[in-house]
Each structure stands twice: as C-alpha cells, then as structure tokens.
C-alpha cells in the first residue's frame, strides 16, 4: 500500500501543476499526431539529412524503420564522458541489426566541477545545464528522428538533457550511461590528504599523488556526488534500463546494455510496437520516485535545484516543501562516501539500486505502476542484468543486502528519515544535507564571519583568524551574482576547524554539492544577497542559528533586518574564462528554489 505522505505529496504536486501540465501534454499529443517528422520534410531537406549516412541512406529514404538521434556529451578530457567515444558506432551497428538507423544529432558541452572548483570557470557550471538543454534542442530541431538516445553522465549534463528531452516530449528517450571508474584510492584517504594539505602538514606533491590515485581511469568519480546521484535518478525515474547505472565502462555487460538500450529505443519509437513518449514516462509520480531515491541514498543537494528545473520543463511544479515532507518518511538505506566509507562500486556490489528499489516498493514509498522505458511497472527495476548467450537478460536481484555496513533494508535503516532538510526563518529559505553530519553538529548557534568569496575564507584560515565557534557566511554566490558556483573547496578548511573542537557551520547563497561533508551547511539561501535578501544585511559578530533539527535559519541578533542590504562590487565576475558570454544568463536567471533556470 502506498505511504500516505507519498500519496498526499504526489496529489498536491498534481493539483498544483494541473494547468501547466495539461497545456504541456496537449502540445506533446499534437506533435505525436503529426506523425514521424521525416515525412514532412521536403525531398531536398531529406537529402541534406541523409547525404553522409553511407550504408544507411536507403533505409532513411524509405522511412520504413526508426531513426535514432544521438545526443552526446562525449569529450576525452573528462573521465566520465570519455567512454562515450565508442558509443555512436555501437549504437549504429545495434540499430542496423534490427533494421533501424542512428545518427549523431549533436554534441553538448560537458564540464567538470571537479576541475573548475575554486576557479572562475566554476561560475559557468550551473548555467552549462541550460546551455546543454539549448544545444540538444538545436540538434533535435532538424526533426528527422523517431526516438532519441542521450549520452551523458555528470553534474549538469543529465539535468540539461532531461530538460531537452521534455521539450521534445513526444519523442521516446533512452538514457545510456557510461558507468563509474573502478575503485582507486579510498575517498576517505583522499579527503584526509586534502585536510592535511589545507593545514600545511603535507606538500603539493603528496596531494597530487593522492588525487591521481583516486581519479585514475575512465568513468565517473566513485564518490556519491551529483554525477552518481544523476545515475540513480535515471533508474528510479525509468529512463535507464534496469541495473544499468553502475556497470563499469569497457566491460562486456556495459556494451551489451548499450546495444539493448539502442534496440529498446527503436522498439518504443513511433515506428515501433510499443510507442512510449518521454512525456508519459516523466509524470509527477516519476519525480516523486526520484525524490524518494534522493533521500534514501543521501544524494546530492544539487538535485534540489535540478529536479525542480527538470520537472518544470514538463509542466510539473515542485517546491522544497515536497522534498522536505518526503524526506520525513524516507529512511536512509545507503552509506556511500561522503556519507560513509564505501564508494559506488561497493554499493553496487552490495545489492545496489535493484535491492533498494525493491525495499522501497515493499515499504510503499515508491509508485510502482509508472511507465518506464523498459515497460510498465517499477518492479522491473528490482532485477539485475546478466549476459546470457551474448545478450542481456534480467534475473531476480538480491533479496537481502550483501553488506549491511553499506546498504540496509527499509526495516533496519541507517537513519529513519532522509538526509536533506529545508530550513526557513528570518534569513529566508535554504536547504541542508545532514546525512553525513553527526547529530551533535545539527544545531549551531554562533557569531558569524562574513565573506564575499571563498578565497577570503581560505586567507582568514591561513592567517589563524578562526579561534572561536563560528558560522562562516559566504554571500554574493547566488545565480544572479556569479552563476552560483559550488564552494566545495572550503570543505577541508571547515572540516579542520570542526576537528579542532570548534562549532562550525556554513551559510551561503551558493552551492556545496553532493561532495559536501561532515560540517553543517545551510546552502542555496533565498533570496540571495544580490537581490537584497537578509543574508546581505549580516555583519561580522551577528549571532546566527542554523538548526537542522527544527528546520530553521534565524538571525538571533536584534535589529539586523532594519539595516540596508550591503551591495557588493561584482564587476570581477563579469569577465575572464568566458564569463562575459553569460551576462544575460545572470540577468535573467530564476531563484534557486524555482530551479535557477534561464530557459
């Protein structure tokens, strides 16, 4: 039986979204009724589209079989996307084997927050999500495809691709992942070296050696940050094949899943026998399932922005209250770094998403009767893929966890509620990820130190200025101010202060990501400082309380709200590393709680 809260929140989302959702679906139904797009092109237009198709030209011209569009985030600088170099040829061959065709419709940019952390390039990161959606839209605008396969993995790439898929919601869409890299230096050992470097206890040579040992090969990073949270979501929301998320690159099973995913995309295309447009997969139930998965796994805080934007692209209106109420009834079933010592490979080996989905279905916390790319019913996602006679077959997954230090049943969770909290109070609204924060650190009340960039925080730390309990305020980091960069490079500094016995919290209108750690953080503060929010009125020494138990962010010092908000010189955010190109994005972007979107 479906949990009462899950049922109520789903119904509230459905009611809230009715006008926008009905209008969206009407547009998608009309696009579907127009039939396969290629039939409406002129002969000249079709000739342009097929001219370089080689052996597929005759099949394309006859329009007797489905034609897949491939949207790819391939580049060979980033480990997560390097495996996609081989995918287009695998996809073309797999399509031909069942009488179909496939063409690369376009490429989208893929940037790595890990590379750009603490640099000006990080100020383009969040906006890259909307650029990806726009770029995918351009690729699909030729209107010659019967279904789409999306190749993307990391932080902004999958959300951007989902937004694009929603814009072309009449087309079936299959997401084909690349998988995580094999395990390297354990994430906790890497983090310890980072903290020692921040404290001046080891040099850059030791730091570089640790980082290279951790990030050592093709595939996503193995910690449970935004990239791997994306992969979880695609499975919970029915856009991956069952069990596909965490299969390593370059393996036989990975390639077999790519072949099967290609052929499944053709089967559910308009010309196939099981037409399944993505607008029917991504309904309000799918998004509720995704939010439950986010809480049960202790996933990335970035998805509190991305899921809102992804849903709005399909006429579904989410807000952070939905996330909060679902968190209260969703148990934390996984301990994956930074919420534990295991990495995603260990999680997958312990039973992974199949076991977890089975547990959550049994507990009534997921909608089972949803439409997925694999067919009707989320129960399909409790099974795991195996290669039998050269093809993928799905078999029953593990009925119990194979390592209860990493993955637990719903009857004996690590925590009774999910790891994400909504915070409200005189400072506005914010969110906090507390699944990795010890209970004794869930409430911090202390004088604040106010900074306008993270480099100033590091300089103050190096100068020995943090000698008492402190709430570190880093403002003018919101989407309108500078694109809302992650402040993850502050993690070692804050962790060192906490390790010295100080009570420490971070308060910011910026982001902290799924890689945030054991220090209490109130992030995504809205209204942001550049919009005159209360965070812009704080001064050094004002006492602030961040309370993740009561869900509050309060100014304790009297009279603060009577002050005029501080205005910062943000001219330094306008140029360098491509930032000048994004002036319109900064001017038009919505607030974080509505998805921080420009499209």
Q: Residues forming the annotated binding site for [4Fe-4S] cluster?
A: 154, 221
Q: Tell me if residue 23 falls in helix, strand or coil.
A: helix
458 backbone dihedrals φ, ψ, rounded to 5°:
-65, -40
Q: Dump the DSSP string for 121-134.
A: GGGGHHHHHHHHHH
Question: How many helices and strands in the chain, by DSSP H and E?
Answer: 21, 16
Query: Looking at the chain, how many residues does it have?
Result: 599
Please check whether residue 239 is in contact with residue 173, taking contact to mean a CB–CB distance below 8 angstroms. Answer: yes
The CA distance from 364 to 342, in Å, is 27
The CA distance from 200 to 515, in Å, is 22
In what helix (H) or strand (E) does residue 470 lie, and over which residues does it extend? strand 470-474
Please check whether residue 439 is in contact with residue 536, taking contact to mean a CB–CB distance below 8 angstroms. Answer: no
Q: How far is CA 219 from CA 137, 351, 374, 475, in A?
A: 26, 20, 24, 34
In what helix (H) or strand (E) does residue 371 lie, and over which residues does it extend? strand 371-372
The CA distance from 492 to 571, in Å, is 28
282-285 CB contacts, 8 Å cutoff, 24+ apart: 282/162, 282/165, 282/166, 282/169, 282/237, 282/239, 282/310, 282/311, 282/314, 282/316, 283/316, 283/370, 283/371, 284/10, 284/13, 284/14, 284/17, 284/21, 284/311, 284/316, 285/10, 285/367, 285/369, 285/370
Q: Tell me if residue 67 falls in helix, strand or coil.
A: strand
The CA distance from 112 to 204, in Å, is 21
112 token code pair: 């790595």
Q: Dump the DSSP string for 408-430.
A: --TTS-SBSS-SEEEEEETTEEE
Q: How far is CA 300 from CA 59, 226, 339, in A?
A: 44, 5, 11
Question: Cis ω on the peptide bond leading into residue 527 (within 30° of 0)?
Answer: yes
| Residues β-bridged to residue 423 | 430
Please check whether residue 68 is in contact with residue 266, taking contact to mean a CB–CB distance below 8 angstroms. Answer: yes
Question: Which among 75, 156, 233, 134 is positioned nearest to 486, based on CA atoms?
Answer: 156
Please state the separation of Cα 341 from the chain's center in Å: 21
Which residue ranges make up the annotated binding site? 154, 221
Q: What is the largest CA-CA distance in the chain?
A: 76
| Separation of first and last alpha carbons in the chain | 38
């Amino acid at each position: 039986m479906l949990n009462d809260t899950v049922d109520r929140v789903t119904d509230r989302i459905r009611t809230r979204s009715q006008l926008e959702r009905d209008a969206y679906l009407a547009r998608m139904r009309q696009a579907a009724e127009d039939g396969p797009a290629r039939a409406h092109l002129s002969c000249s237009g079709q000739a342009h589209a097929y001219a370089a198709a080689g052996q597929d030209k005759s099949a394309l011209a006859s329009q007797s079989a489905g034609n897949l569009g491939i949207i790819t985030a391939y580049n060979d600088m980033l480990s997560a996307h390097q495996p996609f170099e081989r995918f287009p040829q695998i996809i073309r061959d797999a399509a031909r084997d069942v009488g179909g065709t496939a063409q690369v419709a376009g490429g989208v940019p893929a940037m790595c927050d890990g590379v750009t952390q603490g640099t000006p390039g990080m100020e383009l990161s969040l906006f890259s999500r909307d650029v990806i959606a726009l770029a995918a839209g351009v690729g699909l605008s030729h209107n010659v495809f019967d279904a789409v396969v999306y190749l993307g993995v990391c932080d902004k790439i999958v959300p951007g691709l989902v937004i694009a898929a929603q814009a072309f919601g009449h087309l079936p869409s299959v997401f084909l992942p690349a998988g995580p890299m094999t395990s390297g230096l354990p994430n906790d050992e890497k983090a310890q070296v980072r903290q020692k470097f921040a404290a001046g206890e080891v040099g850059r040579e030791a730091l570089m050696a640790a980082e290279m040992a951790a990030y050592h090969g093709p595939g996503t990073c193995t910690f449970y940050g935004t990239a791997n949270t994306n992969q979880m979501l695609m499975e919970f929301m029915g856009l991956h094949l069952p069990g596909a998320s965490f299969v390593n690159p370059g393996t036989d099973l990975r390639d077999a899943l790519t072949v099967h995913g290609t052929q499944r995309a053709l089967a559910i295309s308009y010309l196939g026998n099981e037409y399944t447009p993505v607008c029917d997969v991504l309904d309000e139930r799918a998004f509720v399932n995704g939010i439950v998965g986010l809480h049960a796994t202790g996933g990335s805080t970035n998805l509190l922005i991305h899921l809102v934007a992804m849903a709005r692209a399909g006429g579904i209106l989410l807000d952070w209250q939905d996330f909060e109420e679902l968190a209260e009834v969703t148990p934390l079933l996984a301990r994956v770094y930074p919420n534990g010592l295991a990495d995603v490979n260990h999680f997958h080996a312990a039973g992974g998403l199949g076991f977890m989905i089975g547990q959550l279905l049994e507990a009534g916390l997921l909608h089972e009767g949803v439409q997925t790319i694999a067919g009707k019913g989320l129960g399909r996602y409790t099974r795991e893929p195996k290669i039998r006679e050269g093809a993928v077959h799905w078999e029953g997954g593990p009925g119990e966890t194979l390592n209860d230090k990493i993955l637990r049943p719903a009857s004996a969770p690590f925590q009774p509620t999910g790891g994400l909290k909504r915070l409200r109070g005189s400072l506005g609204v914010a969110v906090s990820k507390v699944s990795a924060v010890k209970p004794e650190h869930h409430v911090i009340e202390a004088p604040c130190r106010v900074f306008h960039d993270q480099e100033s925080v590091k300089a103050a730390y190096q100068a020995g200025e943090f000698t008492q309990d402190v709430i570190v305020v880093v403002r003018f980091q919101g989407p309108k101010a500078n694109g809302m960069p992650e402040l993850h490079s502050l993690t070692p500094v804050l962790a060192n202060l906490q390790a010295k016995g100080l009570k420490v919290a971070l308060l910011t209108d910026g982001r902290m990501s799924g890689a945030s750690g054991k220090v209490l953080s109130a992030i995504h503060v809205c209204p942001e400082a550049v919009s005159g929010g209360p965070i812009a009125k704080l001064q050094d020494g004002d006492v602030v309380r961040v309370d993740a138990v009561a869900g509050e962010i309060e100014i304790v010092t009297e009279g603060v709200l009577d002050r005029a908000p501080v205005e910062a010189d943000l001219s330094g955010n306008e140029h360098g590393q491509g930032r000048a190109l994004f002036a319109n994005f900064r001017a038009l972007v919505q607030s974080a709680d509505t998805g921080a979107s420009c499209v």
